[in-house]
Structure 1
């Protein structure tokens, strides 16, 4: 039996324009694309009205997700600093946080590095006493930057993301959840 070609239409529901694709899928799929456009795909057996109803029901979440994606795009459009400039910035932040961890680090500051990373803001290499920060972190708000610095330092106390780890983060940054939200 020949397979049907996907059917693509432009729709609007609850004031949200979206691209609807009817094709061979098992269930409704919603996707916010990198450019902030909304795409919905549905199985052939679903009605177009079902997709419109879903978009209407999820309208608030969709608007927020589109807004987050557009903010992310705006940040990504900002030019990145030189590695030397970012290293100087993160070293200065590290120097402010270090005294709270001097005891556990035996009075020896960790090595600070910077490199382009796509899926992490920072990495702590405990055995090497090294923290590497994402070059892209430089374009984030200072409150978010300090959160990442404290987060990575706390790994010298707790190597995982256990409740004990988050308790350590909270001791230094009671508002860490709000700061972390700035990174999303």
Structure 2
């Protein structure tokens, strides 16, 4: 069973398993999932309250795992011909030595102009900054297009944040009216990115994954399931 609780910093989603145990056991896993086991006799409200009380620990652990994942995620070699996933397409990398660092993209190739073509950190930093910048442009464009659907419900224009995540494509913090998106989405087709934006936007109206949430999501985006399947490669 997947449950969620709202805390000051946002929403914590956790998997609840009923087991023959005496206490409520909470663990934050390396894949950034929160797991709780508890006896069937313990009310869900009591379990939710415990998760809320331990929110600081949960969020600190999730943040630590995210930072660790970010440090390990980039295994590219940054050589000519290497594939770069970008908005559902595979671009080919080209490396050029240049006095002025910049990036050019023609839809087939992404060219890095660097001071030192052998410097891995320089190439990695330049490409990642470009990907992040392009990703932010896409998200801002989609949010601007979708916002009128939510403005009529009294939703203020959300604050946007970007970070590396392992197990989530996005998150919504209703109290702070902010949406956070996984930077790895830059590799996904734009139609799937639109699904993630709409999903998180809908959480500003319906914080839980209730029946009403999915009904409202389907009203805003009737083909959301197809977009989700494409995102997950199914």
TM-score bracket relative to the smaller structure:
0.5 to 0.7
For residue 164 of structure 1, report the CA deviation from its aligned partner: 0.4
Structure 1 counterpart of 2:188, from 119, 125, 140: 140
For this pair of structures, how many residues does the alignment match? 108
Q: Kindly indicate which of the two structures has a greater share of residues assigned to strand.
A: 2
Q: Is the 8 A contact 2:142 2:194 kept in 1?
A: yes
Following the alignment from structure 2 to structure 1, what is the Cα–Cα distance between the partners of residues 153 and 136?
A: 23
Residues 84/77 of structure 1: CA separation in 2 closer, same or farther (3 Å cut): closer
Written as runs of structure 1 = structure 2, the 5 A alignment for 1:116-155 is: 116-155=164-203
C-alpha distance in 2 between matches for 1:133 and 1:148: 8
For structure 1, the residue ranges without an aligned partner over 5 or more in a row are: 1-75
Residues 1:117 and 1:104: Cα distance change in structure 2 (over 3 Å): same
Instruction: Say yes or no: does 1:182 pair with 2:193.
Output: no
- Decide which of 76, 95, 115 is 2:144's aligned counterpart: 95
Given that 2:135 and 2:186 are in contact with CA atoms closer than 8 Å, whether structure 1 keeps it comes out as yes
User: Which one scores higher on RCO, CA 8 angstroms, separation ≥ 6?
Assistant: 2
Moved over 6 A (4+): none
TM-score by length of 2: 0.43
The reply on whether 1:114 has 2:114 as its aligned counterpart is no
Structure 2 unaligned spans of 5+: 1-82, 87-127
Shift of 1:129: 0.6
CA distance in 1, matches of 2:132, 2:163: 7
User: Which protein has the larger Cα radius of gyration, Structure 1 or Structure 2?
Assistant: 1
Distance 2:141 2:180 in 1: 14
TM-aligned CA distance change 1:119 to 1:97, over 3 Å: same
**Helix, strand or coil at the partner of 1:82:** helix
* TM-score, L = length of structure 1: 0.54
> Distance in 2 between the 1:78 and 1:179 partners?
18
Give 1:84 shift.
2.5
Find the counterpart in structure 2 of residue 4 from structure 1: none
State whether residues 124 and 130 of structure 1, in contact with CA within 8 Å, keep that contact through their aligned partners in structure 2.
yes
